[in-house]
A and B are shown apart, each in its own frame.
Chain A
Amino acid sequence: MIELISKLEKLSLELVQKQDYLYKVEVKKEQLESLLLSFLNEFGYITLDSINCRDDLEEGNFVITYCLLTPKRDHVVMVQTSIERENASLPSIHTFWPQAEIMEREMHEMFGVDFPGHPTLIDFALEYWDNIPPLRRDFDTLQYVNDMNPFRGQRDDALDAKVEMKKKREAKKAAKLKAEQEAAAKAELETQNNPSQEVQNEE
């Protein structure tokens, strides 16, 4: 681990420990491809576990995270970069890691990130999708669903939940009031009866 830190310092990058087995390094987009290549060939991180994408709509960029493992598999290094949301594009790394092909295909479909040089940017999970990519945060799934698939109407004998809850609350209040009144009346009765009881007890 110390070796890796010193090697990254030469590239003026900082390795941050996040959890027990989790480290993170942030790079610029231009440096990304060469850094991944040196992780693969020089630092010994030969397993690409996953590529994650996050949409930071407010800052106007996508945050891409590559998770890498050594053959020992005892810690994860996240290589993180951020790219602009508009016309987002990234270098394809399917030539380094064959499994990146499918991960990039998914990212292309779900976020609309372009990968120049990728051989198969075809449909992954969706079919005939012509809206904006669904996992972008400006895609409003509720609006889309309400347009496509309206809810089933309620039954004729269905009750309005708000009205019923109000009724229930009022009934509860009334019952409580009644119970209090009854208790008070009972207490009064008891105080009236008490002397006679005491007399009985004495007998």
Chain B
Amino acid sequence: MMESGFHGCDLDDSLKCKLEESGTQNTHSVMEKAAAWFRSRSIFVVAYGTGCGAIEMPPTFTSRYDAERMGVVGVATPRQADLIILSGYLAYKTLRRVIRTYEQMQKPKYIITLGSCPINGGMYWDSYNTIKKLDDYLPVDVSVVGCMPRPEAVIDGFSLLQKRIKNGEKAGWEKYDENLDFYKKNQKRVLGNHVDPSYETDWYNLENGSEV
């Protein structure tokens, strides 16, 4: 479980990635626009059923609501996916796995959360085992509110994300790379030193993470 270099997103790579891509962010060549359009029409989704919202995933993807007509297709593994759907509240134990899953995904990658719980705790605001404010730990692109959101709302979230990808707006994973210290500090605060995966850089024992 703990080997380094095994994970899709190596830390040094991600920093390089940020430097290279931040330069090309604002140029809008025809090729880039075309690539963004194509990308927005073929989103591969890994649906991590972290909570109640998982029950609305089958209706969304099957014949009645049929999200596949939007170009949104479910896949099994995080490495093939562009988008991870976190469907509901996150227990600390799940958050560890979600961070690992997210960091295994290839860039570009996006996060959609379903329900009120990842936004502000929702119904479980006083529960000792769930987090509030998921965007402290992972960069959320689109939050679909509701308890739980209807399939129409989920599809609306997809189309909002597609619009953003098409317009070339700055995505969550770029923010994650830029503010990695902020995210890692928060992750360490709630999960302690038991965060998988471990990296060669000793992020968790830094005195002040933002100085690096």
Q: CB distance A145 to B194 under 8 Å?
A: no
Interface residue? B3 (CB, 8 A): no
Q: Inter-chain contact count A-B, CB under 8 Å?
A: 37
Which of B92, B96, B132, B190 is A151 in contact with, Cβ under 8 Å? B132
Assess whether B165 is interfacial by the CB under 8 Å rule.
no
Main secondary structure of the interface of B (DSSP, over half): loop
Q: Are B133 and A149 in contact (CB under 8 A)?
A: yes
From B50-58, B71-79, B117-125, the one touching the partner chain is B117-125
Query: Once the chains bind, are A127 and B133 in contact (CB under 8 Å)?
Result: no
Counting chain B residues whose Cβ lies within 8 A of the other chain, the interface size class is 10 to 19
Quick check: B128 and A151 within 8 Å, CB to CB? Answer: no
Q: Find B119's partner among A126, A127, A145, A152 (CB 8 Å cutoff).
A: A152
8 Å CB interface, B115-152 against A: 119-121, 125-129, 131-133
Q: Please report the total number of A residues contacting B with Cβ < 8 Å.
A: 15
Q: Which of B86-113 contact A (CB under 8 A)?
A: 92-93, 96
What B residues does A134 contact at CB under 8 A?
128-129
Decide if B194 touches A128 in the complex (CB within 8 Å).
yes
> A127-B92, A127-B93, A127-B194 are known contacts. Are A152 and B133 too (CB-CB below 8 A)?
yes
Smallest CB separation, B94 vs chain A (Å): 10
Would A145 and B93 count as touching, CB distance under 8 A? no
Q: Are B93 and A141 in contact (CB under 8 A)?
A: no
Are B132 and A149 in contact, CB atoms less than 8 angstroms apart?
yes
In the complex formed, the residue of B with least CB distance to A131 is B128
B192 at interface by CB-CB < 8 Å? yes
B122: shortest Cβ distance to chain A, in Å?
Answer: 12
Give chain B residues whose Cβ lies under 8 Å from the Cβ of A152.
119-120, 132-133
Identify the A interface with B (CB < 8 A): 125-128, 134, 139, 141-142, 144-145, 148-152
- CB-based closest 4 A-B pairs: A141-B128, A127-B93, A149-B132, A152-B120
29 contacts between A and B (CB under 8 A): A125-B93, A125-B129, A126-B93, A126-B129, A127-B92, A127-B93, A127-B96, A127-B194, A128-B192, A128-B194, A134-B128, A134-B129, A139-B128, A141-B127, A144-B128, A145-B126, A145-B127, A149-B121, A149-B131, A149-B132, A149-B133, A149-B190, A150-B132, A151-B120, A151-B125, A151-B132, A152-B119, A152-B132, A152-B133
